[in-house]
Amino acid sequence: MLFNSIEFVFFFPVVTIIYFLLQHKHRWWWLLVSSCVFYMTFKPEYLLILGFTIIVDYYAGILIEKSEGKRRRWFLIMSLVANIGVLAFFKYTNFVIVALAQGDIAHYKILDFVLPIGLSFHTFQAMSYTIEVFRGNQKAEKHFGLYALYVMFYPQLVAGPIERPQNVLPQFYQVQTFDYQRVTSGLKLMAWGLFKKVVIADRLALFVNKVYDTPTQYEGVPIIVATFFFSFQIYCDFSGYSDIALGTAEVMGFKLMKNFDRPYFSKSISEFWRRWHISLSTWFRDYLYIPLGGNRVGVYRRYFNLFFVFTMSGLWHGANWNYIIWGALHGLYLIGAVVTQKPRSFINEKLQLTKFPFVFKTIQISITFVLVAFAWIFFRASYLEMSWCWHLVSHLFTNLPTFSELLNFDYVSQNVFLGFTIFEFCLAVGLIIFMEIVHYIQRDKSIRQLIATKSPVIRWAVYYVFIMLFFILGVFDKPAQFIYFQF
Partner 1 sequence: MNKKVQQFSLKACLLLFLTLGSIEGAYRFDPFGKHDLKTSYKAAIIDKYKRLENLKSPKIVLIAGSNFAYGINSQLIEQAFQQPVVNMALHYDYGTDFMLKQISPQLHTGDTVIMGFEYIVESKGNLGEKIQMMKYFPKAKEWFTYDNIFQFIGANSLVRVSAFKLLLERILKQEVTTFSVSDTTSIFFRGALNESGDLISHHNNPRLKVIPRAVINDKASLDSAIVDMNAFYSKMKKIGVKVYYTYPSYAESSYQFDKKIIEKLDKQLKKHALFPILGKPEDFVFVDSLCQDMVYHLTKNGADIRTQKVIELLKKNDN
Binding site for partner 1 (CB under 8 A): 5-7, 10, 20, 177-178, 180, 183-184, 460, 463-464, 467-468, 471-472, 474, 476-477
Least separation in angstroms between residue 13's CB and partner 1 is: 9
Instruction: Give the nearer residue to partner 1 in terms of CB position, either 137 or 214.
Output: 214
Is 26 an active-site residue? Answer: no
Instruction: Give the nearer residue to partner 1 in terms of CB position, either 356 or 460.
Output: 460
- 3-state helix/strand/coil string of the chain: CCCCCHHHHHHHHHHHHHHHHCCHHHHHHHHHHHHHHHHHCCCHHHHHHHHHHHHHHHHHHHHHHHCCHHHHHHHHHHHHHHHHHHHHHHHHHHHHHHHHHCCCHHHCCCCCCCCCCCHHHHHHHHHHHHHHHHHCCCCCCCCHHHHHHHHHCHHHHCCCCCCCHHHHHHHHHCCCCCCHHHHHHHHHHHHHHHHHHHHHHHHHHHHHHHHHHCHHHCCCHHHHHHHHHHHHHHHHHHHHHHHHHHHHHHHHCCCCCCCCCCHHHCCCHHHHHHHCCHHHHHHHHHHHHCCCCCCCCCHHHHHHHHHHHHHHHHHHHCCCHHHHHHHHHHHHHHHHHHHCHHHHHHHHHHHCHHHCHHHHHHHHHHHHHHHHHHHHHHHHHHHCCHHHHHHHHHCCCCCCCCHHHHCCHHHHHHHCCCCCCHHHHHHHHHHHHHHHHHHHHCCCCCHHHHHHCCCHHHHHHHHHHHHHHHHHHCCCCCCCCCHHHHC
Least separation in angstroms between residue 217's CB and partner 1 is: 11
Least separation in angstroms between residue 90's CB and partner 1 is: 21
Instruction: Give the nearer residue to partner 1 in terms of CB position, either 192 or 323.
Output: 192
For residues 61 and 142, give the distance between their C-alpha atoms in angstroms, rounded to a whole number.
9
Contact between 251 and 186 (Cβ < 8 Å): yes
Least separation in angstroms between residue 226's CB and partner 1 is: 19
For residues 181 and 448, give the distance between their C-alpha atoms in angstroms, rounded to a whole number.
10
Least separation in angstroms between residue 178's CB and partner 1 is: 6
Instruction: Give the nearer residue to partner 1 in terms of CB position, either 297 or 458.
Output: 458
Least separation in angstroms between residue 474's CB and partner 1 is: 8
Q: Is 103 left (phi over 0), alpha (psi -120 to 50) or beta?
A: left
Least separation in angstroms between residue 467's CB and partner 1 is: 4
Marked catalytic residue, from 317, 330, 391, 395: 317
Contact between 308 and 292 (Cβ < 8 Å): yes
Annotated catalytic sites, by residue?
317
